[in-house]
Structure 1
Amino acid sequence: MNTKALVKRAKKGDDGAFYELMQAEKQKLYKMAILYLKNEDDAIEALQEVTYRAYKSLSTLKKPQYFSTWIVRILINYCFTQLKERKRMSYHDEMTTILGGKKDADNLDVYEALEKLDGNHRQAVTLKYLYQFKIKEIAELLDFPEGTVKTWIHKGLEALRTELGEKEGGVYRA
């Protein structure tokens, strides 16, 4: 059955229709929650909370064909709220930690070098070294074979080494 019809049924109180809608979105929402929250337990909790919020506010959805976009927006808002509440380290602080505590000015070169990487290489390197995802997890998230992800990481690191130079021990210097 199409999304529009399921949303209309769910708005009328059909819990089975709402369940079908959530089942169709579950995998995508879970992957997004993992990307934002970087923790499986937090991602599962996010899915539960988003399901509850969507169920309670389904009547506010004006255009049924945008259910998927609407539910993703609820998830993103929830994730941002969680990240603020927990005062997680910012992207900048995480990069500083990874780079061995370099000063801010030194990190500008790293940010610029990361931006120069091809999109797939940058994404794979960031997920692996910034967010500590395993290669298997990255492959699942990006929907590519593990070998492809390994290649992207290898080529991305080589490009960073070339761009930044390498210091003994694997810590990059500007």
Structure 2
Amino acid sequence: MDEVEVARKAINGDEEAFVALMQLHKEALLRTALAFLKNEHDALEALQETTYRAFRKIHTLKEPAYAKTWLIRITINYCQDQLKKDKHYVRDGESAESTVSLDSTQLELQEALSTLSADEQHLIHMKYFQGVKIKEIAAIEKIPEGTVKSRLHKTLRTLRSHFEGKGEMDNV
């Protein structure tokens, strides 16, 4: 049974199909939550809340083909609510312990990403860490594909200039 058929059955009230749908997209939802909340505990809590909210509202999903997009949007909304509520933007990672295990390349990438706005970080995470297509990002964010492309281009240019600046400083 394909993804759309599973979603269609879930929309029609099949609880087993709903569980199967959540299993299909669990990894993408968890990565999305991690990108926002920066720690595994909060991300798992976000996944639980997403599951609960989706179960309550699955009947409102109009197009089964967009089930993944719909679930990611629920996750993003929950994460943004948590960040506003808790007012804890952890920009440089989870803790000193988690940073110790990262090699210098990962640290440089993390540092470069921390210079971006939350929206730019989210865009980079979706596109390059989760492999979400531009068309899906546009649907999730409810903006035109061209806007997604131009924002990606601008953000990549910012990252590129960050790394070029680093290289110049290292050579001095």
Name the TM-score class by shorter chain.
Answer: 0.5 to 0.7
Paired with 2:107 and 2:28, the residues of 1 have a C-alpha distance of: 18
Amino acid at match of 1:76: I
**8 Å Cα contact 1:125/1:156 also seen in 2:** no
Amino acid at match of 1:14: D
Amino acid at match of 1:79: C
Question: Mind listing any 5+ residue stretches in structure 1 that lack a counterpart?
Answer: 95-120, 132-137, 144-154, 167-174
Question: In structure 2, what is the equivalent of residue 15 of structure 1?
Answer: 15
Which structure has the larger Rg over C-alpha atoms?
A: 1
Question: In structure 2, what is the equivalent of residue 161 of structure 1?
Answer: 166
| Offset of residue 3 of structure 1 | 2.2
Q: 1:82 to 1:22 in 2, by over 3 A?
A: same
The answer on 1:82 being equivalent to 2:82 is yes
Segments ≥4 residues shifted beyond 3 Å: 121-124, 127-131, 155-160
Q: 1:79 to 1:127 in 2, by over 3 A?
A: farther
**8 Å Cα contact 1:6/1:18 also seen in 2:** yes
Question: In structure 2, what is the equivalent of residue 46 of structure 1?
Answer: 46
Identity %: 38
Normalised TM-score (structure 1): 0.56
| Offset of residue 32 of structure 1 | 1.1
Question: In structure 2, what is the equivalent of residue 107 of structure 1?
Answer: none
Question: In structure 1, what is the equivalent of residue 101 of structure 2?
Answer: none
Amino acid at match of 1:142: F
Paired with 1:123 and 1:74, the residues of 2 have a C-alpha distance of: 30
**Aligned length in residues:** 118
Paired with 1:38 and 1:27, the residues of 2 have a C-alpha distance of: 15
Amino acid at match of 2:19: Y
Measured against aligned partners, the alpha-carbon deviations of 1:33-85 in whole angstroms (never above 9, x if no partner) come to 11110010000000000000000000110111110111111111111111111
Normalised TM-score (structure 2): 0.57
Higher relative contact order (CA 8 A, sep 6+): 2
Measured against aligned partners, the alpha-carbon deviations of 1:91-134 in whole angstroms (never above 9, x if no partner) come to 6xx6xxxxxxxxxxxxxxxxxxxxxxxxxx89961368849xxx
Paired with 2:26 and 2:108, the residues of 1 have a C-alpha distance of: 23
**8 Å Cα contact 1:50/1:75 also seen in 2:** yes
| Offset of residue 2 of structure 1 | 1.6
Alpha-carbon RMSD: 3.5
The answer on 1:28 being equivalent to 2:12 is no
Amino acid at match of 1:13: G
The answer on 1:65 being equivalent to 2:65 is yes
The answer on 1:126 being equivalent to 2:110 is yes
